[in-house]
Amino acid sequence: MTTRTRILTGITTTGTPHLGNYAGAIRPAILASQDANADSFYFLADYHALIKCDDPQRIQRSRMEIAATWLAGGLDVNRVTFYRQSDIPEIPELTWLLTCVAAKGLLNRAHAYKASVDKNVEAGEAPDAGISMGLYSYPVLMAADILMFNAHKVPVGRDQIQHVEMARDIGQRFNHLFGNGKEFFTMPEALIEESVATLPGLDGRKMSKSYDNTIPLFTSAKDMKDAISRIVTDSRAPGEAKDPDNSHLFTLFQAFASKAQEQEFRADLLQGLGWGEAKSRLFQLLDSQLSEPRERYHQLMSRPSDMEDLLLIGAKKARAVAAPFLAELREAVGLRSFVNQAAAPVAAKKKAAKAARFVSFREDDGSFRFRLLSADGEQLLLSRNFADGKAAGAVTKQLQSGDALDVRTEATGFSVWLDGAAVADSAEFADETSRDAAIAALRVALTPIED
């Protein structure tokens, strides 16, 4: 069986996506998510945003704009796990577990922290003036983002490679201290896409909000056209040959054009195409590709409840992986239940067993089914269809009898069998570790109550 590569990407929610974000990160990530062998996790890094921004309205607006941009750009939430970082409470808890093993000397070497210290020293300030623990601990939170889902590949810019390396260091330290021969954390690798475009802005420098040289992505066609008209070009008049290789207008065109369109545009510039006409062609190219996503974007922004629903579904998928894994990590470091030890009193076992419950229901076709729910309401099993309620009830009674469970695994799910027939199934889990944790939870839930 082919091993699926788990890829994780986060975008900090502090601004409005522009054309450079789309070409450099969002579009290639959406294309990568369509790989059948990829297991993709995409998240809104809103905890990270708090490090950089103290404007609540800006953060809230950015979260919506970035979510809408991903969805309008074609991200298929049925193929990927798309969630807000702040909807996963296991992430800050893992951050603390990792903080307790992360070396201060390692964090002292983080580029962002060192740059802030150097800036303070140059200005004659105290080295740590204005530096928050959020900024200092940023690499640990990023390590938790990555290690929580045991990502194999993390697409990052070159300035973020160090953070992926630090996640490896911290994960290895945890494995060494608490693993007892078990490797809890996969060692992630930074994925640098050399072919991904770094788009120039209006003035030729890298497109960036900090340079105020961006081209808006989904605000309106008029705003995009106005921005394109401000692209700085040389003074060559219409009829004079232009140099495509030294024109950032051509670089922008190239990032969105087919090979044939690129070659035609290059030839026309060499033949003396005027800059005004060139800008018009760039707008037409971009508008032809972005008008439909732009319309979807504005629909999404007008219906925030639709995005909320999708993100909560994504959070549930993410937590199906995170919650059982964090339970393992808590056990490893000694944060264990007093009642789930090998020698736990019978009374405690009784209480745990009573917490799970069967819920029967009738389908539209008249057949009967049941769910087995855990103490916190999570579905452990969903039965097959039965002709009548009596047959369904007999199966639930047999499952509670204390007889050995016949659990059969298949890929990342499992089914329960009685008398040679499958009677109930689990959900599909993100990986075999999550599946096995669910089987363990099922066995505990069906432990008979002794009087």
Q: For residue 383, which of 417, 356, 429 has the smallest C-alpha distance?
A: 417
279 is in an annotated binding site: no
Which 3 state secondary structure label does DSSP give 6? strand
Please give the backbone phi and psi of residue 316, each rounded to the nearest 5 degrees, phi first.
-65, -40
Query: ∠ CA 14-18-23 to the nearest 5 degrees?
Result: 120
Instruction: Write out the H or E segment, with its range, that includes residue 38.
Output: strand 38-45
396 is in an annotated binding site: no
20 is in an annotated binding site: yes
209 is in an annotated binding site: yes
CB atoms within 10 A of CB 302: 9
| pTM, full prediction | 0.72
302 is in an annotated binding site: no
145 is in an annotated binding site: yes
- Tens of pLDDT, residue by residue, the chain (451 residues): 446 899 999 999 999 999 988 988 888 888 888 888 899 999 999 999 999 999 999 999 999 999 999 999 999 999 999 999 999 999 999 999 999 999 999 999 999 999 999 999 999 999 999 999 999 999 999 999 999 999 999 988 777 899 999 999 999 999 999 998 899 999 999 988 665 567 899 999 989 888 899 999 998 999 999 999 999 999 999 999 999 999 999 999 999 999 999 999 999 999 999 999 999 999 999 999 999 999 999 999 999 999 999 999 999 999 999 999 999 999 999 999 887 654 444 444 444 444 578 888 888 788 889 888 877 667 889 999 998 888 888 898 888 877 778 889 988 899 999 988 999 999 888 888 888 888 888 887 886 644 3
Q: How far apart are the first and last CA of the chain?
A: 47
206 is in an annotated binding site: yes
Instruction: Dump pLDDT digits (tens) for 390-433.
Output: 888 889 888 887 777 888 998 889 999 998 899 999 988 888 88
In Å, how far are 109, 167, 340, 451 from 103, measured between CA atoms? Answer: 10, 12, 32, 51
The β-bridge partners of 414 are 409
CA atoms of 313 and 305, how far apart (whole Å): 12
Tokens representing 435 are 């599946």
14 is in an annotated binding site: yes
159 is in an annotated binding site: yes
Per DSSP bridges, beta strands 379-383 and 368-373 are antiparallel
Instruction: Dump pLDDT digits (tens) for 297-348.
Output: 999 999 999 999 999 999 999 999 999 999 999 999 999 988 765 444 444 4
3 is in an annotated binding site: no
199 is in an annotated binding site: yes
13 is in an annotated binding site: yes
CA atoms of 152 and 8, how far apart (whole Å): 8
208 is in an annotated binding site: yes
- Dihedral (CA of 64, 70, 76, 81) sign: negative
Which 3 state secondary structure label does DSSP give 362? strand
Q: Counting runs of H as helices and runs of E as strands, what totals does the chain give? A: 17, 11
